[in-house]
Structure 1
């Protein structure tokens, strides 16, 4: 297994592209030593968000050691509240921060606050759950493709016929809506597949277990489960505790999910796949903010691929997923700059180094 992820292509809006002649390659050298970059996070109640916050701490420590920022505090609202996060952004405007890296509670409801930040001269970089406000930079995965990939995988495994359960994520955000849209669109290709029920797992094992346990008595035999990450292990526990046959459950790159997958594979040949974004993408958000402050021209829309795990490489991924954490990749400054330059030139992304 290579220590790099090979990403063949990057999706980016055509309006975001610049020609090489209009953009300087390499890192911008403007002085950012006195700048403050704040993380505004809407939720921390699952392992992905906890891993993301740890990745933020790592990149901030590195940047401060190199004298690239003055400070980079993180702020998290308690309950995925749009109102609380809007107030959070207002507070950061009043504090006079230079940039905000934003994981948003809503793609649209925060646009007014984001526009006020931009109008105050603050660089706003949204990532993961992005906003639609034009002044913000956006770093996201192709979340719709996650739903497409999962349905195609289950259709292939089940021969195009079977009964499915869909476990959805946190309501109100762009990620859940995009993944679900991919599911709905792709299901139309397979008339032999039927979604018999839906539960809200909120990307959290405990919530998924509770909600799936609640709906299981109303469902027929389930052949496959569509998930969104952070909910696969809890879903599996719900089936096992109910004495139900374990269906093909898509996993979401969390430690408890990949270790359960490995254990069930060794026990009775259980086979599935796993897919999710990498929490390390927050590091790219930080470096994009720092580089914009330093004077680099950066596309407003950057879409990075999802990280897929497959049966043949399962032992490697279990070994390289931290206990209690999430399988991830690293997005250091040099890689971020190379990716920006590749975008400007219309070229594929460079290989992404894995976290060892």
Structure 2
């Protein structure tokens, strides 16, 4: 009886300890403010958020983790959305921002109301907020460095940019142009916006191809645009250049087909959509009283020739190669590990 009683006491103590550990955030409500959902990366990002946060709510880690997406990629609409979240009394707002600075007024209002603000992917510059990002500029530069090794003689490049006016688009493009400046054997002969969407990119590339030189050796991209670019080159009956991919399933599947048929070589790089789940856990940890530095950097997710098949196997049709983060992952990032 004594042993049984002891076991019961220990078990009760463990339950109470677990409850106490969760008590600081069990009644907290977190909102996601997202400015855009019009491509597969954003859809995967929202799906990851839903998967991880629903479990966190079920486990009583937080009381709510509600996602909201604006109808248009407009700063004014997202600012109004954030102001509504302030009025709703959320304890933290996780934000993928339409602009790094134009939302700072609304973000400051949230901070002044005692709300924790964590930005990711599209980060904000307001000092009171936290930021989680990859080095997007380096990501763009790495595309050119890859082409430098593969095509040492250089040549003409086509640049496909993302969504105009968004921080991520600007930073990746800066990195690409910096890489070309340092490697003048390459020349960017055309640039279009593909909005990180296959169909938009295909139309944009098809529209500019007739005005470009015949000898395009490479296409530098931002994600969601590689497959569309390939289809545009095919429709124009032009040779397929080295197209940098962006981890979308349609891009990876096309790449594998070309690799099997002609030994086609390229690389693929993007930020994992599951970074939204890292931002959620960082917000939860801040609400739990943890000390977290304002700027956190996570590596981008790169796929090379020898990891293509494995990555494709784990990427669902219509989706994006992804990593979802756990509380333990977030704690490691916070600790700089």
2:157/2:219 contact within 8 Å kept: yes
SS in 2 for 1:252: coil
Structure with the higher fraction of residues in helix conformation: 2
1:56: which partner in 2? 49
1:160/1:190 contact within 8 Å kept: no
2:163: which partner in 1? 170
Q: Indicate yes or no: 2:323 matched with 1:329.
A: yes
Match of 1:284 among 275, 278, 285: 278
Structure of higher RCO (CA pairs closer than 8 Å, 6+ residues apart): 1
Q: What TM-score comes out, normalization by structure 1 length? A: 0.87
Give the CA deviation at 1:160. Answer: 3.6
Distance 1:267 1:42 in 2: 40
2:208: which partner in 1? 215
Where in structure 1 are there 5+ consecutive unaligned residues? 1-26, 344-348, 350-356
2:133/2:296 contact within 8 Å kept: yes
Match of 2:227 among 233, 237, 242: 233
Question: CA RMSD for the aligned pairs?
Answer: 1.2
Where in structure 2 are there 5+ consecutive unaligned residues? 1-19
SS in 1 for 2:90: coil
Q: How many residues are matched? A: 317
Distance 2:274 2:333 in 1: 15
1:13: which partner in 2? none
**Structure 1 moving runs of 4+ over 2 Å:** 27-30
2:296/2:333 contact within 8 Å kept: no
SS in 1 for 2:307: helix
Q: Indicate yes or no: 2:307 matched with 1:308.
A: no
- Answer with 1 or 2: which has the greater Rg: 2
Give the CA deviation at 1:337. Answer: 1.0
What are the superposed Cα offsets for residues 109-155 of structure 1, whole Å, 9 maximum, x if unpaired?
Answer: 00000000000000000000100000001000110011110011112
Distance 1:338 1:302 in 2: 11
Distance 2:282 2:154 in 1: 45
Aligned pairs for 1:237-248 within 5 A: 237-248=231-242
Distance 1:165 1:238 in 2: 12
Aligned pairs for 1:1-356 within 5 A: 31-220=24-213, 221-341=215-335, 343=336, 349=337
Distance 2:317 2:154 in 1: 36
Give the CA deviation at 1:61. Answer: 1.2
Give the CA deviation at 1:338. Answer: 2.1
What are the superposed Cα offsets for residues 191-241 of structure 1, whole Å, 9 maximum, x if unpaired?
Answer: 221111001011000000000000000001211000001110011111011
Give the CA deviation at 1:30. Answer: 5.2
Distance 2:260 2:252 in 1: 12
Distance 1:63 1:46 in 2: 26
Give the CA deviation at 1:190. Answer: 1.6
Q: What TM-score comes out, normalization by structure 2 length? A: 0.92
1:150/1:250 contact within 8 Å kept: yes
What are the superposed Cα offsets for residues 264-322 of structure 1, whole Å, 9 maximum, x if unpaired?
Answer: 11111111000000001101100011111111111110011111100011111110111
1:28/1:295 contact within 8 Å kept: no
What are the superposed Cα offsets for residues 42-83 of structure 1, whole Å, 9 maximum, x if unpaired?
Answer: 000000000000001011111112101111111101121101
Structure 1 residues 337 and 45: CA distance shift in structure 2, 3 A: same
